[in-house]
Amino acid sequence: MRGHLAPHRFPEKTPRVQSPNTRSTLLMAPALLWLTALMVVPCGLIFALGFFRRGLYGGIEYTFTLENFALIVDPLYAGIFLTSARIAGLATLIAVIIGYAAAYAIAAAPRHRQPLLLFLAVLPFWSNYLIRTYAWIVLLNREGLITQGLRMLGYEGEPPSMLYTEGAVITGLVYNYLPFVILACYAPLARLNPELAEASRDLGASAFTTFRRVILPMTVPGIAAGAVFVFVLSIGNFITPALLGGGRFQMMGNLIYAQFLTANDWPFGAAISMVLIAIMMGLLTLQAIAAEKGAGEKREGADG
Amino acid sequence: MADRSPATRRSLAAVLVAVFAFLYIPIATLVALSFNEGGLPTAWTGFSVKWYGALMANRDILSAALNTLIVAVISTAIAAVLGTLLALGIETRRRKGRALEALVFAPMIIPDIVLAIALLSFFSLLKVPMGLHTIILSHVVFNLAFVSAVVRARLKSFDWSVTEASADLGASALTTFRRVTLPLILPAVIAGALLAFTLSVDEFIIAFFTAGAGRASTTLPMQIFAMIRFGVTPEINALATLVMIVSVTALTLSQRLNKGVIAP
């Protein structure tokens, strides 16, 4: 049989055998069926659930309603959403600033050292999320290492309360997602043509202007990709607020968790999940636009 | 970049030192404390591995570790096969529709919590009793996506003329796959499987929602989550250290294998 798995540039000549596309479909079928049964259908179910009513004693009443979405803009819940958007936004901002600076420093290091530096920056990302979060409990709790450090420096007052604060939650989120931002920002920085920055400086631009007008615009897609990732994972998080916020700070993730496991209001939980997905899609679209714009700038840069 | 001033170079180095300190001090502290004889963060009382011994005597942790291993091995095995076939199917396709790309990309970007509640609703509406098997079914969803992503990256640089040659020499499609294609993509398949294995070992949210009631199907991350809520204990430090070693080893291996398959 000719052309096993061959792409289209090797046209199939024997009429007996399946066309490459039939074979391709057969190869993909098991995985696509799995994804359909255990991802598409369940997610479709969540989509549908969001439009049903909660039963009197938990459970689901199958009548169409928009109540769940109305509840989302109810001041009580809208407040929670705004808080989680603020926490996620701050975490994103800090992670992007630190991550960009780190990526910039790595890209500026001697070329042969860059792979190792990048590897070291991403390594912590490979350990368990719970463990990385737990490490901050060890540092921040009242008898934790930071308190010990302060005592050694002669501090004698009450141990500062650092755990179970908004700052702890933000620190945990930044810590967990920073390696991703470094990776996302490093890629465009490493591809940057150093001659462009040189040209800008030769034309009399200051280092800051060169950064703002030349380097930054060309690396926006990387920043945007990192930012979307951090924001979406932060706003939908429930582990970090539960462990480092002591349950005092609710993110959308905690709210979804509660609707399914304690409040037993699945339709409302489903509606919140849909909002979360909508936020993600919206941000990804913006990111794609930023990437296209960045590609445009790059072409201009190459032409001029 | 030789034109940087010494001051610039110094501040760039300072940024790196600060970022690496931020990334590594929490983890290093945890690892160091797991060897602290007294077990408290307040004082270093000497090196000891007794907390690791205590782990080995903890039945809950051992059974959770066994559950995690069962879930990770089975879901990785299924995902390795399905993900590789998927990658071969996609890369040999004439036209890749956007819907197809979105479908295979989705498991990697859907927030875990959404997939978790979706699966929970799905299983409970179908009245499927939940346990380790439902965790396995669920883990295959994202595991197969990651395996196929790694294998696809390898196939992008794959020289298809070798399969042509094999066919011209009279090999059947199956023989060509077994003797030519598979050996060439095997490092990528193993790299993808190692990645999937680690993701599965570390995965908490989806397992938590699809494990059903009762302790019988508690996985290691679920056990760690429950323990962390009670506070800092030397046993968690030791357990955390062990889990980190497993993840980092598997992923470093996966990276190595992946680098070894750069196209000629």
Overall domain count for chain A: 1
d(Cα A133, Cα A143) in Å, to the nearest integer? 17
pLDDT given at position A10: 47
Taking CB atoms and an 8 Å limit, are B89 and A256 in contact across chains? no
* Domain assignment of residue A197, given as a range: 70-303
Class of domain B51-259: mainly alpha
> Looking at residue A294, which CATH number applies to its domain?
1.10.3720.10
Phi-psi region of A154 (alpha: psi -120 to 50; beta: other; left: phi over 0): left
DSSP string for residues in A7-36? -TTS----TTSPPHHHHHHHHHHHHHHHHI
Residue A16 has pLDDT above 50, yes or no: no
Residue A145 lies in a domain: yes
A31 domain-assigned: no
Beta strand A53-54 pairing with A60-61: antiparallel
Residue A299 maps to a domain: yes
CB A2 within 8 Å of CB A17: yes
For A74-97, what is the mean pLDDT?
Answer: 93
CA distance B164 to chain A (A): 5
Indicate if ipTM > 0.95: no
Separation CA A22–CA B149 (nearest Å): 21
Q: Which pLDDT belongs to residue B263?
A: 33
- What tens digit of pLDDT does each residue of B45-79 get? 889 899 999 999 999 999 999 999 999 999 999 99
Instruction: Check residue A296 and give its pLDDT.
Output: 66
In this predicted model, which residue has the larger pLDDT, B197 or A14?
Answer: B197
pLDDT at position A13: 45
Q: pLDDT tens digits, residue range B195-215?
A: 999 999 999 999 999 998 878
Compute the average pLDDT of residues B112-140. 96
Confidence at residue A47, expressed as pLDDT on a 0 to 100 scale = 94
At residue A8 the predicted structure's pLDDT band, cuts being 50, 70 and 90, is very low
- Contact list in B for residue A266 (CB cut-off 8 A) is 117, 121
Minimal Cβ distance to B107: which of A10, A39, A260:
A39
Strand partners, B20: none
pLDDT > 80? residue B167: yes
As a whole number of angstroms, the distance between CA A124 and CA A102 comes to: 15
Beta carbons of A134 and B243 less than 8 angstroms apart: no
Q: How far is CA B41 from CA A70, A142, B97, B245, in A?
A: 49, 11, 56, 21
Q: Which of B32, B233, B43, B27 has the alpha carbon at shortest distance from A151?
A: B43
Both tokens assigned to A203 = 């034309």
Q: Does residue A11 lie within any of the structural domains?
A: no
Q: Which residues contact B253 (CB under 8 A, 6 or more apart)?
A: B194
How far apart (Å, rounded) are the C-alpha atoms in residues A35 and A227? Answer: 28
- The string of pLDDT tens digits covering residues A17-61 is 556 788 889 999 999 999 999 999 999 999 999 999 887 776 788
| Token digits of residue B208 | 């938590």
- For residues A99-114, average pLDDT: 93
Residue with tokens 């539960």: A242
Measured between beta carbons, the chain A residues lying within 8 angstroms of B212 are none
Q: Can you give the residue ranges of every domain in chain B?
A: 51-259
Distances (CA, A) of A234 to A113, B15, B109, B202: 32, 24, 13, 18
- pLDDT score at B140: 98
* pLDDT score at B80: 97
User: Residue A179 — pLDDT band, cuts 50, 70, 90?
Assistant: very high
The CA-atom distances, in angstroms, between A56 and each of A60, A62, A264, A269 are: 8, 12, 11, 16
What pLDDT does residue B130 have?
95
> Is A108's CB within 8 Å of B4's CB?
yes
Separation of alpha carbons A14 and B82, rounded Å: 28
Task: Out of A152-156, A257-261, B160-164, B238-242, pick the least confident.
Answer: A152-156
Task: Say if A183 falls within a structural domain.
Answer: yes
- Look at A45 and B121 and tell me if their CB atoms are within 8 Å: yes
Residue A22 maps to a domain: no
| Residue whose pair of structure tokens reads 């009631």 in the numeric block | B213
Distance, CA of B239 to CA of B233 (rounded, Å): 10
Q: What is the pLDDT of residue A11?
A: 47
User: Which of the four pLDDT bands, split at 50, 70 and 90, describes residue B188?
Assistant: very high
Least confident of A225-234, A295-304, B26-35, B207-216: A295-304
Residue A161 pLDDT level (bands cut at 50, 70, 90): confident
The per-residue pLDDT for range B249-261, each reduced to its tens digit, is 988 888 888 774 4
Q: Is B176 on the interface with A (CB under 8 A)?
A: yes
Q: What is the mean pLDDT of residues A252-281?
A: 92
Give Cβ neighbours of residue A79 (< 8 Å, ≥ 6 apart).
none
Check residue B3 and give its pLDDT. 56
Chain B residues closer than 8 Å to A269 by CB = 117
Query: For A127-144, b where at least 16 C-beta lie within 10 A, e where not — what string?
Result: bbbbbbbbbbbbbbbeeb
Whether the Cβ atoms of residue A264 and residue A58 lie closer than 8 Å to each other:
yes
The verdict on residue A51 lying in a domain is: no
- Mean pLDDT for chain B? 89
Q: Are A107 and A186 in contact (CB under 8 A)?
A: yes
Q: What is the mean pLDDT of residues B24-29?
A: 92
Whether A4 has a pLDDT exceeding 70, the answer reads no
Q: Is residue A268 part of a domain?
A: yes
- pLDDT value, residue A294: 64
pLDDT beyond 80 at A1:
no
Q: Please check the confidence at residue A158 and state whether its pLDDT lies above 80.
A: no
Q: According to the model, what pLDDT value does residue B192 have?
A: 94
Task: Sort A187 into a burial class: Cβ within 10 Å, 0-12 / 13-18 / 19+.
Answer: middle
Convert A276-290 to b/e letters by CB count within 10 Å (16 or more is b): bbebbeebbeebeeb
| DSSP letter string, B31-85 | HHHHTBTT--TT----B--HHHHHHHT-HHHHHHHHHHHHHHHHHHHHHHHHHHH
Q: What percent of chain A has pLDDT over 90?
A: 44
In this structure, are residues A102 and B14 in contact, taking their beta carbons and an 8 Å threshold? no
Across the interface, do A144 and B125 touch by the CB < 8 Å criterion? no
B248: confidence class by pLDDT, cuts 50, 70, 90: confident
| A143 vs B42, B237, B247: nearest CB | B42
Window 93-112 of B, Cβ < 8 Å to A = 93-94, 103-104, 106-107, 109-111
